[in-house]
Structure 1
Amino acid sequence: MPLHRIAVGRYQDEVHSSSAIKAFVAEFISTLIFVFAGQGSGMAFTKLTYGGPSTPAGLVAAALAHAFGLFVAVSVGANISGGHVNPAVTFGAFVGGNITLLRGVFYIIAQLLGSVVACLLLAFTTGGMTTAGFALSANVSVWNAFVFEIVMTFGLVYTVYATAVDPKKGDVGTIAPIAIGFIVGANILAGGAFTGASMNPAVAFGPAIVSWDWTNHWVYWAGPIVGGGLAGVIYELLFIGRSHEPLPTSEY
């Protein structure tokens, strides 16, 4: 059971060391890059359509922007922090015993700050346009959205485990960033019209802070955290055989 591998960690090693600080900065920058591209694509669509309604083309554009942005964000952070870029990924790594509690908490703080700064920069550079928060579509209840976010985030974190965390990944590890970007793009095509397809509490947090709109915000935390946690536990239990040796830092 992966739960026996869960650890709090020592402050000196997991927070105060130079490698830990570099990892936190990397998570901040990677999340900023991702949110700026993803949220910015939606704002660009709004500007080009003069505030018109969402269209299938807009959904495809959002999926591509998020897929490309996440591919880059994971790639540039992978060798420093593991390229989590998402509190749900960090939580999934934690419950699987691949990151300590202390480091995970600071990863999440860095991710949230990166998202907020990205949205503030977008608000400034676009001349005060609104960084729209996530919202449910008509006839989609909070429980519909909750389950939708669980399933989509499960797919995302399962992909992270299979391509980046699993010690048996072999050459598949070289395509981890693009696989992770692709699953997010695919899930946006599936769920964007219903919940906005967050799969990432940080992505929802930045716009909520800047626009100060917290309507149904809990869905975009609870769904991804549950989905990410389930993926981490299930993949560890079923597919990863561990020795007593922990994974090297670069492997998470």
Structure 2
Amino acid sequence: MPIRNIAVGRPQEATHPDALKAALAEFISTLIFVFAGSGSGMAFNKLTDGGATTPAGLVAASIAHAFALFVAVSVGANISGGHVNPAVTFGAFVGGNITLLRGILYWIAQLLGSTVACLLLKFATSGMGVPAFGLSSGVGVLNAFVLEIVMTFGLVYTVYATAVDPKKGELGVIAPLTIGLIVGANILAGGAFDGASMNPAVSFGPALVCWSWENHWVYWAGPLVGGGLAGLVYDFFFINHTHQQLPSY
């Protein structure tokens, strides 16, 4: 069972140079991702003078987040694994692929990276508001909770299949691209309902800077449940239980 592989880690790990470098990489990668992703939303508001969200705006947000995450994962992959998301880190933890102490370091770095990105955006745009995540009209908290679980499950499952699985082979080369694409696709699917966060850090930075916490728990609970389930499912069925790879044609 994956739970047998869960490890707290040694206290020295919290101050080990490699762990600190990995945390710094997570901080920078998350800053890059949130600056581009949230910045695209602010640019849309600027161009439309704060107008209503349109299908074109949703597509633009999807592309911006997909491209930004592709880059953010790529630049952090060789140092920290390129998590850029507390839900991914949690999914890696429950699958026994990262210790609790290193995971906490990652979480702190990711939340700081998101917050700094939002502060930089607010300063660079002369005080323009950073859009916080919220539920659309007619969407209940339970609806959004389930949406975030399903979307984040797909994201973390993709991370496991393309980046964590030791049998990934050459598929690992395109892992950052596939991770970016699933996030972009999920934004197209869920963005009109709850913003399609899939990432507590992405939600935390704007909420803190704008001090907007309504239904904020959804953007933590949903992604963590979805990420944790994906880690448990993939690790139990496809890593701990040996499966034979099918031949490629």
Q: TM-score range by the shorter chain?
A: over 0.9
| CA deviation string 1:223-247 (max 9, x = no partner) | 000000000000001000379xxxx
Q: CA deviation at 1:3?
A: 0.3
- With the length of structure 2 as denominator, give the TM-score of the two structures: 0.96
Match in the other structure for 1:217: 216
Match in the other structure for 1:80: 79
| CA deviation string 1:26-73 (max 9, x = no partner) | 000000000000000000000001111000000000000000000000
Match in the other structure for 1:22: 21
Match in the other structure for 1:246: none
Runs of 4+ that moved beyond 2 A: none
1:7 pairs with 2:21 = no
8 Å CA contact 2:93–2:103 kept in 1: the answer is yes
Segments of 5+ residues of structure 1 without an aligned counterpart are: 244-252
8 Å CA contact 2:133–2:197 kept in 1: the answer is yes
For the residues of structure 1 that align with 2:25 and 2:80, how far apart are their CA atoms?
6
8 Å CA contact 2:2–2:240 kept in 1: the answer is no
Match in the other structure for 1:137: 136
For the residues of structure 1 that align with 2:6 and 2:164, how far apart are their CA atoms?
16
Aligned length: 242
For the residues of structure 2 that align with 1:7 and 1:50, how far apart are their CA atoms?
50
Give the secondary structure class of the aligned counterpart of 2:83.
Answer: coil
For the residues of structure 2 that align with 1:191 and 1:158, how far apart are their CA atoms?
18
8 Å CA contact 2:5–2:95 kept in 1: the answer is yes
Amino acid at match of 1:10: R
1:157 pairs with 2:160 = no
Q: CA deviation at 1:17?
A: 1.1
Q: CA deviation at 1:11?
A: 1.9
Match in the other structure for 1:147: 146
Amino acid at match of 1:168: K
Match in the other structure for 1:31: 30
Match in the other structure for 2:92: 93
Match in the other structure for 1:102: 101
For 1:234-249, what aligned pairs fall within 5 Å after superposition?
A: 234-241=233-240
Segments of 5+ residues of structure 2 without an aligned counterpart are: 243-249
Q: CA deviation at 1:202?
A: 0.1
Match in the other structure for 1:172: 171
| CA deviation string 1:73-100 (max 9, x = no partner) | 0000000000000000000000000000
For the residues of structure 1 that align with 2:14 and 2:113, how far apart are their CA atoms?
18
Indicate the RMSD between aligned Cα atoms, in angstroms: 0.9
Match in the other structure for 1:207: 206
| CA deviation string 1:120-159 (max 9, x = no partner) | 0000000100001101011100000000000000000000
Amino acid at match of 1:143: L
Amino acid at match of 1:61: A
For the residues of structure 2 that align with 1:111 and 1:122, how far apart are their CA atoms?
17
1:53 pairs with 2:49 = no
Give the secondary structure class of the aligned counterpart of 1:194.
Answer: helix
Q: CA deviation at 1:193?
A: 0.1
Query: Residues 110, 242 of structure 1: CA spacing in aligned structure 2 closer, same or farther, 3 A cutoff?
Result: farther
Match in the other structure for 1:247: none
